Chain A
Amino acid sequence: MNLAIRDVKYRLGRFVLTAIGVGLLLATVMAMGGIYRGMVEDALSIVRSPGADLWVVQKDTNGPFAETSRIPDDLYRVVRAVPGVREASPIAFQSIQLEYGSVSMRTQLIGYRPGNLGAPPAVAAGRPLAAGRYEMVLDRKSGIPLGARLPLGRMIFTVVGLTEGIVSSSGDSTAYVSLQDAQELQFLKANEAVRNERARLQADLRADPALAGVSSAALGSVIQNTNLANAILVRLEHWAEPAGVARSIERWNHYRAMTTAEQEDVLAKNVIERARQQILLFRIILLAVSTVIIALIIYTMTMEKSRDIATLKIIGATNSKIGGLILQESLALGLLGYGFGALLINLTYEKFPRRVAILAFDQTVLFAIVAFICVAASIVGIRRALAIDPTTAMAGGA
């Protein structure tokens, strides 16, 4: 006769409500884990999506995701000549504010040369960028539909395609445009700024007798240079060894070449490490709170059964029978709570504003932790039960 099952059945409503409470707590633990995983996936998706083997960036920088990196966009021609390089293409990254109707959203703008490296891995709706300009491929997360027209800088873009699940390390939606559009958005100065700069330059030219005849307008292409990129993406021949090619690029071209793994490492360590630690700490606190709450519930449930446990001792129940009752109830509470929490999070994780990645591995680890917590929590109840004086069952009063 299983006493735990009988007791749970007898107090089913209250037991289920308690388990739901525990489940909500565990759902929060799962959500925090999912947010952490989502944050990592988001951060790495932008590095992985171009499918590059190497990232050539400004020397002494950690690449466009960690700090500013500016390099000439035609560098890709030089890089392409390095032995082992199959493809090379410039790419530009920039955070922008997109306005659509009354909605304003932060967006990670990615500029690439259509038909070359840097394109989104897949377009879920519409089409990829054609060679032309003023087109945009947005992530579905932005909520902006195909065909929408979006003013940006001095240009108006038309949304021609939608991607799915490609976001920045901070969870912002991504927008792909042609490299030239991205360069103009990032590097082209406003008309007033250009006029001011020309005036300043003209004054400097007049001050130097040797340059007195040079017009500032003739230097326009210098002061208005938009032929910059943030990185050159490199895809290698199948036989090439990434570290070796990276060393060659760094030695001869005075730039830094990072493998995708290094770029991911930089992103993980520099950009999301603190957030990761924060979430990990929060999860540990939540698990500690869960342990205390389950232990308190089990202790209270044991106290409520003090007289029954005393009676069981008098009619000869062994300590293992009494301990089993408490341990099984503790496990049932924790596992039912876990089941409820898992169900809740699996039904709702897609509705979170940021990506929540629920992995089977994380769920399994949490399941094992919850089982351990329940066993630990039951020790409190078992100690209390074994300390109950059987004579308390003989006190009078029906």
Chain B
Amino acid sequence: MLAVAAANLTKIFGQGDSQIVALKDAQVSVEPGEIVALMGPSGSGKTTLLRALSLIDPPTSGEIAIGGEAIFDGERVLIDDRKLRRQRMGIIFQAYNLIPFLTTVENVALVLTLNGISHYESLARARALLQRLDLGHRADIYPATLSGGEQQRVAVARAVINDPAVILADEPTAALDTERGKAVMELLRSLGRTRHAAVIVVTHDERMIEGFDRVYHMIDGHITNH
């Protein structure tokens, strides 16, 4: 069963003469454990596709299914989008987006507590994951005191802590130097494979291309090949 199956996704912003077609008939399918890249120049629709797949900004038309379950039928969102994201998706941002008033371990544990897991169990699991990612010694400090690479690794930990079926990453290495970017990508790859999650990474960084199973190229809202 496909982890992600999207067909004919179209996203149109605005109306009438000011209408912009940001996504046109995009087809995406990703297997569990597979890691794919969405590449293309700025404005090609990569992030729009990511927002559509996560229902942060649903498409204008098309169908989306996650783990075989339809979540968008071309007209309506068929599921509570926030529940979908907190239970079955992990999302990584270019700007890390760690909550500044939570410590590192609390940032990671937050997703679990949002899913109803007890505070202490959430913290214990988050602490264990941070230990595995070699961030145990940074668990109790605020994100502002972490380096960019550390912040992104914490963001990766937050995205995978709930064992999601799908991990969506929006330019996760854009703010990092090459070495740190590679380390984050390697972490994403290994966590995706070991947790059997489908990983979709938006990137325009050609240096990172070799680690992906497949690459979707996008231009002007179209997926040109994969």
| Residues of chain A whose beta carbon lies under 8 Å from any beta carbon of chain B | 1, 3, 6-7, 9-11, 307-308, 311-318, 321, 390-391, 393-398
| Residues of chain B whose beta carbon lies under 8 Å from any beta carbon of chain A | 47, 50-51, 54, 56-57, 82-87, 91, 93-97, 99-102, 106, 109-111, 113-115, 119, 122, 142, 148, 151, 158, 170-171, 174-175
Asked if B114 and A6 sit within 8 Å, CB to CB, the answer is no
Q: Which residue of A lies closest to B119 (CB)?
A: A1
| Residues of chain B with a CB closer than 8 A to A3's CB | 99, 101-102
In the assembled complex, the Cα of A315 lies from the Cα of B106 at a distance in Å of: 14
Listed A/B pairs (18) with beta-carbon separation below 8 Å: A1-B102, A1-B119, A10-B101, A10-B142, A308-B97, A308-B99, A308-B100, A315-B91, A316-B114, A318-B114, A393-B97, A394-B50, A394-B51, A394-B56, A394-B94, A396-B95, A396-B175, A398-B94
Asked if A395 and B95 sit within 8 Å, CB to CB, the answer is yes
Give the A-B pair count, Cβ closer than 8 A.
85
**Nearest CB of chain B from residue A30's CB, rounded to whole Å:** 32
Interface centre among B84, B93, B158, B171 (most CB of A within 10 A): B93
In the assembled complex, the Cα of A7 lies from the Cα of B106 at a distance in Å of: 12
14 more A-B residue pairs beyond the given contacts A1-B106, A10-B100, A316-B115, with a C-beta to C-beta distance below 8 A:
A1-B109, A1-B110, A3-B101, A3-B102, A6-B101, A7-B101, A9-B101, A308-B100, A316-B87, A321-B114, A393-B97, A394-B56, A397-B95, A398-B175
**Nearest CB of chain A from residue B174's CB, rounded to whole Å:** 7
Asked if A317 and B96 sit within 8 Å, CB to CB, the answer is no
**Nearest CB of chain A from residue B184's CB, rounded to whole Å:** 13
Asked if B111 and A1 sit within 8 Å, CB to CB, the answer is no
| Residues of chain B with a CB closer than 8 A to A321's CB | 114
Q: Which residue of A lies closest to B54 (CB)?
A: A314
In the assembled complex, the Cα of A273 lies from the Cα of B109 at a distance in Å of: 60
Asked if A396 and B171 sit within 8 Å, CB to CB, the answer is yes
| Residues of chain B with a CB closer than 8 A to A317's CB | 82, 86, 114
Asked if B114 and A315 sit within 8 Å, CB to CB, the answer is yes
In the assembled complex, the Cα of A94 lies from the Cα of B99 at a distance in Å of: 70
Given contacts A1-B106, A321-B114, contact A11 B101 (CB under 8 A): yes
| Residues of chain B with a CB closer than 8 A to A307's CB | 97
**Nearest CB of chain A from residue B91's CB, rounded to whole Å:** 6
Interface centre among B47, B50, B97, B122 (most CB of A within 10 A): B97
| Residues of chain B with a CB closer than 8 A to A308's CB | 97, 99-101
Asked if A394 and B101 sit within 8 Å, CB to CB, the answer is no
| Residues of chain A with a CB closer than 8 A to B54's CB | 314
| Residues of chain B with a CB closer than 8 A to A391's CB | 51, 56-57
> Which A-B residue pairs are the 4 nearest by beta carbons?
A316-B86, A10-B101, A398-B175, A316-B85
Interface centre among A6, A314, A393, A397 (most CB of B within 10 A): A314
| Residues of chain B with a CB closer than 8 A to A1's CB | 102, 106, 109-110, 113, 119, 122
Asked if A398 and B148 sit within 8 Å, CB to CB, the answer is yes
Q: Which residue of A lies closest to B81 (CB)?
A: A316
